[in-house]
């Protein structure tokens, strides 16, 4: 069987290497991922960075492009590897959330399946082939077409003090308003890339920040500087921009559902601190009559909210981080 390594040109020489990556799994046949490897003058750690699991989260894709110019080989120890757009099949129709080939969300498909559908196979290929030897894996997200997302990071915990402390350090490299720790129960089912990496006892950071498909400087900088701080943390570069915030740490990620089909008017914004009972949104019918009021089930911080007024019953309208 061919391996992904066999299709990859040599990237050991110091410099900036641009090429297309292929993987030997049936559902990925014919797809070619543009990638960049920046190889430093001195050998050292490898940092693997992806964006575009959700193709409308363009501030994070823009960050993956700018990162290619933010690291000079002469000043770099080790290797920075970047895939700016993972979900290539979603590009033509700007598909939200899922891969249109299998209707699965790559974001919740890790650690994947080599013989699975596209979403499952690319999840597997990223962790098993592309980033297997990476010292840290960074997955950048934030702000699909109908979302406004706080600057937050997700850190997977496994119950091992040293591993968990390192993953939390990596999450805090981003200047996040909120850091969400995921407890080890997440390791049992398909999940985010940071959880898939933790299943392998490998370090990862997962960053969210952006809104409604826009490239915005504040959100791009959040992602770029976060990756630079991780590179500094790993000893790959000498310096990075200072942080300005102390994040709130939360341990539970609550998905708040729309209780009825309706037109929702939101009363909160991302990163807002809310108390139990705070009104998050009200739902109306098309006569402007109130159908329901959605309140915070407990104290917490708003991780994100949907921006589009229309929401079907049972869809998620607010992400809430709770202690
Ligand atoms: Zn996303």
For 114-128, write each residue's pLDDT tens digit: 999 999 999 999 999
pLDDT of residue 72: 96
pLDDT of residue 35: 97
What is the average per-residue pLDDT within 266-283? 98
| Distance separating alpha carbons of residues 310 and 161, to the nearest angstrom | 44
- Could you tell me the distance, in angstroms and rounded to a whole number, from the CA of residue 41 to the centre of ligand 1? 33
| Distance separating alpha carbons of residues 233 and 211, to the nearest angstrom | 28
What is the average per-residue pLDDT within 254-273? 98
The answer to whether the CB of 7 falls within 8 A of the CB of 21 is yes
3-class secondary structure per residue, 157-209: CCCCHHHHHHHHHHHCCCCCCEEEEECHHHHHCCECHHHHHHHCCCCEEEEEE
- Could you tell me the distance, in angstroms and rounded to a whole number, from the CA of residue 239 to the centre of ligand 1? 28
- Could you tell me the distance, in angstroms and rounded to a whole number, from the CA of residue 85 to the centre of ligand 1? 12
| Distance separating alpha carbons of residues 236 and 20, to the nearest angstrom | 24
Query: What pLDDT band is residue 54 in, cutting at 50, 70 and 90?
Result: very high
- Could you tell me the distance, in angstroms and rounded to a whole number, from the CA of residue 264 to the centre of ligand 1? 22
What is the average per-residue pLDDT within 164-190? 97
The answer to whether the CB of 196 falls within 8 A of the CB of 154 is no
- Could you tell me the distance, in angstroms and rounded to a whole number, from the CA of residue 106 to the centre of ligand 1? 9
- Could you tell me the distance, in angstroms and rounded to a whole number, from the CA of residue 58 to the centre of ligand 1? 10
pTM above 0.75, yes or no: yes
- Could you tell me the distance, in angstroms and rounded to a whole number, from the CA of residue 222 to the centre of ligand 1? 15
- Could you tell me the distance, in angstroms and rounded to a whole number, from the CA of residue 194 to the centre of ligand 1? 13
Query: How many beta carbons lie within 10 A of that of residue 256, not counting itself?
Result: 20
- Could you tell me the distance, in angstroms and rounded to a whole number, from the CA of residue 185 to the centre of ligand 1? 21
Question: Percentage of residues in the chain with pLDDT exceeding 70?
Answer: 97
The bridge status of strand 316-322 relative to strand 204-211 is: unpaired
pLDDT for 265 beyond 60:
yes
Sign of CA dihedral 229, 233, 237, 239: positive
- Could you tell me the distance, in angstroms and rounded to a whole number, from the CA of residue 107 to the centre of ligand 1? 7
- Could you tell me the distance, in angstroms and rounded to a whole number, from the CA of residue 271 to the centre of ligand 1? 17
- Could you tell me the distance, in angstroms and rounded to a whole number, from the CA of residue 98 to the centre of ligand 1? 10
φ/ψ region of 140 (left if φ > 0, alpha if ψ in -120 to 50, else beta) reads: beta
The answer to whether the CB of 306 falls within 8 A of the CB of 147 is yes
- Could you tell me the distance, in angstroms and rounded to a whole number, from the CA of residue 138 to the centre of ligand 1? 13
Query: Based on the number of CB atoms within 10 Å of its own CB, is 70 exposed (0-12), middle (13-18) or buried (19 or more)?
Result: middle
Phi, psi of 148 (to 5 degrees): -120, 120
pLDDT for 81 beyond 60:
yes
- Could you tell me the distance, in angstroms and rounded to a whole number, from the CA of residue 303 to the centre of ligand 1? 13
pLDDT of residue 277: 98
For 282-309, write each residue's pLDDT tens digit: 999 999 999 999 999 999 999 999 999 9
The answer to whether the CB of 240 falls within 8 A of the CB of 231 is yes
pLDDT of residue 250: 98
- Could you tell me the distance, in angstroms and rounded to a whole number, from the CA of residue 12 to the centre of ligand 1? 31
Query: What pLDDT band is residue 5 in, cutting at 50, 70 and 90?
Result: very low
- Could you tell me the distance, in angstroms and rounded to a whole number, from the CA of residue 105 to the centre of ligand 1? 9
Query: How many beta carbons lie within 10 A of that of residue 81, not counting itself?
Result: 22
Which residues of the chain form beta strands (DSSP E)?
A: 15-21, 33-39, 42-50, 77-83, 136-141, 147-156, 178-182, 204-211, 248-250, 252-257, 262-266, 273-274, 279-284, 290-295, 300-306, 310-311, 316-322
pLDDT of residue 12: 82
- Could you tell me the distance, in angstroms and rounded to a whole number, from the CA of residue 52 to the centre of ligand 1? 8
Phi, psi of 225 (to 5 degrees): -70, -35
- Could you tell me the distance, in angstroms and rounded to a whole number, from the CA of residue 256 to the centre of ligand 1? 17
pLDDT for 6 beyond 50:
no
- Could you tell me the distance, in angstroms and rounded to a whole number, from the CA of residue 123 to the centre of ligand 1? 14
Structure tokens at 55: 């193709």
The answer to whether the CB of 149 falls within 8 A of the CB of 209 is yes
Q: Which residues are CB-neighbours of 81 under 8 A, at least 6 positions away?
A: 35, 36, 37, 38, 46, 47, 48, 49, 130, 131, 134
pLDDT for 234 beyond 70:
yes
Query: How many beta carbons lie within 10 A of that of residue 91, not counting itself?
Result: 12
Residues with CB under 5 A from ligand 1 (ion): 54, 57, 141
The answer to whether the CB of 152 falls within 8 A of the CB of 222 is no
């Amino acid at each position: 069987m061919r391996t992904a390594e066999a299709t990859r040109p040599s990237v050991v020489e110091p410099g900036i290497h641009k090429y297309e990556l292929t993987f030997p799994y049936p559902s990925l046949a014919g797809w070619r991922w543009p990638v960049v490897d920046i190889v430093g003058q001195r050998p050292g750690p490898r940092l693997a960075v992806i964006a575009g699991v959700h193709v409308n989260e363009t501030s994070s894709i823009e960050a993956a492009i700018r990162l290619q110019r933010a690291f000079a080989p002469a000043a770099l120890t080790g290797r920075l590897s970047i895939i700016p757009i993972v979900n290539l099949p979603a590009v033509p129709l700007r598909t939200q959330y899922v891969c249109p080939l299998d209707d699965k969300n790559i974001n919740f498909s890790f650690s994947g399946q080599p013989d699975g559908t596209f979403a499952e196979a690319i999840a597997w290929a990223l962790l098993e082939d592309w980033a297997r030897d990476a010292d840290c894996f960074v997955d950048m997200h934030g702000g699909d077409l109908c979302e406004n997302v706080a600057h937050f990071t997700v850190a997977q915990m496994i119950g091992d003090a040293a591993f968990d402390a390192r993953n939390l350090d990596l999450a805090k490299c981003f200047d996040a308003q909120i850091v969400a720790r995921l407890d080890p129960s997440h390791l049992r089912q398909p999940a985010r890339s940071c959880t898939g990496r933790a299943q392998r006892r490998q370090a990862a950071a997962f960053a969210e920040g952006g809104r409604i498909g826009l490239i915005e400087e504040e959100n791009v900088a959040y992602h770029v500087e976060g990756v630079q701080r991780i590179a500094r943390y790993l000893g790959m570069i000498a310096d990075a921009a200072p942080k300005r915030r102390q994040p709130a740490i939360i341990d539970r990620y609550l998905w708040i559902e729309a209780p009825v089909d309706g037109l929702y008017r939101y009363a909160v914004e991302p990163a807002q601190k809310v108390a139990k009972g705070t009104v998050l949104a009200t739902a109306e019918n098309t006569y402007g009559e109130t159908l329901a009021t959605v309140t915070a089930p407990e104290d917490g911080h708003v991780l994100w909210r949907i921006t589009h007024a229309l929401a079907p019953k049972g869809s998620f309208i607010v992400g809430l981080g709770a202690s």
